[in-house]
Each structure stands twice: as structure tokens, then as C-alpha cells.
Amino acid sequence: MQVINFSEQNSVMNMYMAELRDKKYQQNRMLFRSNVRRIGQLMAYELSKTLDYKPKTVVTPLGSLDIPMMKEEDMVIATVLRAGLPFHEGFLDVFDKADNGFVSAFRMYINREHTEVGIHTEYMATQSVKNKTLLIVDPMLATGGSLAAAIESLLAAGKPKKIHVCCIIAAPEGIEVVKKSLPEGSTIWCASIDQGMNEQKYIVPGFGDCGDLCYGEKLQSFRKIADK
């Protein structure tokens, strides 16, 4: 199984990553969402190089030529709500004819020290992924629990031809968890693979909670639902 880490090479993606991580820039939610979306666009472009293409004859005003084309209708882009929405939009900007899937999954702290987490899934809406290329896009891969739950839910909608898991930052521990949920031949794409996680299971150095930075902080009562 291939794991791709874009931070190992120099590109404009690193500039967007720097702004995502910088506490000063994080105060601007619109800029934060825009950078998440930009990284999605760049990652989608790089991923597109690995897809299947067939020549199609295109007629111009002065002649015709064959151009390699992919069939976007054979693709499903799925994301985990809510943090994945701007990342998903970046991929959809590139693969604008793709079908879409959405999974609602969130972490619950199991103990009062917030050092153990569980994953709860409530909702899924998707087209069939049978024999299609499935892109699962989630900006943060920490414990891997929410992505593993999303993969399990989506595979209930059919067996895809190929799975690509795409994230912005990942912890090595989470990558290992997700690998166990994926079939052979899948690919994991990461803008950066960070050092690991802290006791609260947040990626370090990371950039914080992506959903909160995009859309505002959640009520504490929802963060601690498992304590009740």
C-alpha cells in the first residue's frame, strides 16, 4: 500500500500548510477555509495523474485531435462532516462531474481526562461506490478511528475499483489504523505526516481542530457527551 507525503518535496502546497499552522493566520476563518480548499485542489491534480484515461477525439475550429480523458462519472468523492467540507470542495473543483458521499462521524472522549476517545457515526448519504474510484477526503487523520468508520460505512455501498484516502495532516499511528481498513492497492495521500499525537489525541504539531477553525468552536457539551 502506497503512502504519499507531499511535505517531502518543495511546492506551493507547503506555503498553504504554513498558513494553516500559523496561529496568526488561523484567526481568519475565510483564509483558513480557502487554504484547506486550495490544498484539496492541488492534491486532486496530483492524484489525477494516477487515474485511468482513454483517448477521445476533440474537434476544434481548425481540425481534430485525440486527447486522453478520464471518466469522472466513475468517481465518488466522500468526506467526513463537518471538517471535511472545504477539503471536499477543493477536490470537487477539479473532479466536477464526480458523485459525492457524506458520512457524519465524531469523536467522543470516553474518560474525564480526555485521553481515550471513541468514534460515533450517525448518518451517511452516498451514491453506489461499486466498481468506481472512491476518494475519501478528511483533512485530519489522527487516531484513524473516524476514517476507519467511514471506510466501513462506504464499503457497505459496494466494492470500489480503487480507494484513495486523502488528508492534510496525519499521525503515523492513524495511518497504521487506516491501512488495516483498506483493501490492497489503496493509496493514502498526505500533505504532511506529523510527529504523532498528544494525550488528548490531537496531532502534534498539527494545527488544532480543523472543524473549529473552519466554522467556529463546538459547544463543550457536545465535546464531552461521553462523560454524561
Task: Render pLDDT for 58-75 as a digit per residue (tens, 0 to 9).
Answer: 999 999 999 999 887 799
pLDDT of residue 111: 47
Residues of the chain with pLDDT under 70: 105-123, 219-228
pLDDT of residue 51: 94
Name the grid cell of 228.
454524561
> Is 106 domain-assigned?
yes
Please state, in angstroms and rounded to a whole number, the distance separating the CA atoms of residues 169 and 139.
6
> Is 143 domain-assigned?
yes
pLDDT of residue 115: 42
pLDDT of residue 113: 47
pLDDT of residue 222: 47
Q: Which domain holds residue 113?
A: 2-51+70-214
pLDDT of residue 223: 47
Residue 96 has a CB neighbour count (10 Å cut-off) of 8
CATH label of the domain that carries residue 14? 3.40.50.2020
> Is 192 domain-assigned?
yes
pLDDT of residue 214: 72
Q: What percent of the chain has pLDDT over 70?
A: 87
pLDDT of residue 122: 66
How many domains, the chain? 1
127 by Cβ neighbours in 10 Å (0-12 / 13-18 / 19+) ranks as middle
Q: Residue 65 has what DSSP assignment?
A: E
